[in-house]
Amino acid sequence: MRVAVQTDPFDLGAEAAGFAAAAAGAGAVVTFTGIVRPTDTGALQAMEIEHYPGMTERAIAAMMDQARARWGLIDALVIHRHGRLALGEPIMMVATAAAHRAAAFEAAEFLMDYLKSRAPFWKKEITDAGADWVAAREADEDALTRWQAS
């Protein structure tokens, strides 16, 4: 299991291929990539992502441990960038490897839901109209309850 919190871009293809090749015994590998998208208001010039060094790595590692135990993952990978990102740039990726696809898909969704609301990152959108912190969505918080209920 690997967590990388970095300013540098990452090579999605190379990371996915390397992850899959190293996941011995896996029958399923799922990857998800988050990308800087246009905003609803004003033309996006850039996105700035702030994080809490130390807590970020620790919080993500804890989520990955939980996912591994719950879905019997063979391996997991989280790469999350911070700093200034341009429109269309990859922000982060998650990869999970398991014996079967249901576990790999579910674990990836679990990690995404937790990364959104429990990993200490904050996004700021820089648009023509100015700079604004992205507000957390209630739906993102609600998404966590399904993992707690079952």
Partner 1 sequence: MIDVLYFAWVRERIGLPRERVDSQAATVRDLVAELSAREDRYAAAFADLASLRVALDQDLADFDAPLAGVREVAFFPPMTGG
Binding site for partner 1 (CB under 8 A): 34, 50-52, 54-55, 58-59, 80, 91-92, 112, 115-124, 133-136, 141
- Shortest approach of partner 1 to residue 74 CB, angstroms? 23
**Nearer residue to partner 1 within complex by CB, 104 or 111:** 111
**Nearest to 147, CA basis, from 104, 111, 94:** 111
- Shortest approach of partner 1 to residue 18 CB, angstroms? 22
Q: How far apart are CA 120 and CA 100, in angstroms?
A: 31
**Nearer residue to partner 1 within complex by CB, 102 or 122:** 122
**Nearest to 4, CA basis, from 91, 89, 98:** 91
- Shortest approach of partner 1 to residue 116 CB, angstroms? 4
Q: How many CB atoms lie within 10 A of CB 9?
A: 11
- Shortest approach of partner 1 to residue 126 CB, angstroms? 14
Beta-carbon contacts of residue 83 (< 8 Å; ≥ 6 apart): 7, 48, 49
- Shortest approach of partner 1 to residue 110 CB, angstroms? 12
| Sole residue written with tokens 């019997």 | 72
**Nearer residue to partner 1 within complex by CB, 19 or 114:** 114
**Nearer residue to partner 1 within complex by CB, 26 or 59:** 59
**Nearer residue to partner 1 within complex by CB, 54 or 83:** 54
Dump strand ranges (E) for 7-136.
28-35, 44-51, 75-81, 83-85, 90-98, 121-127, 130-133
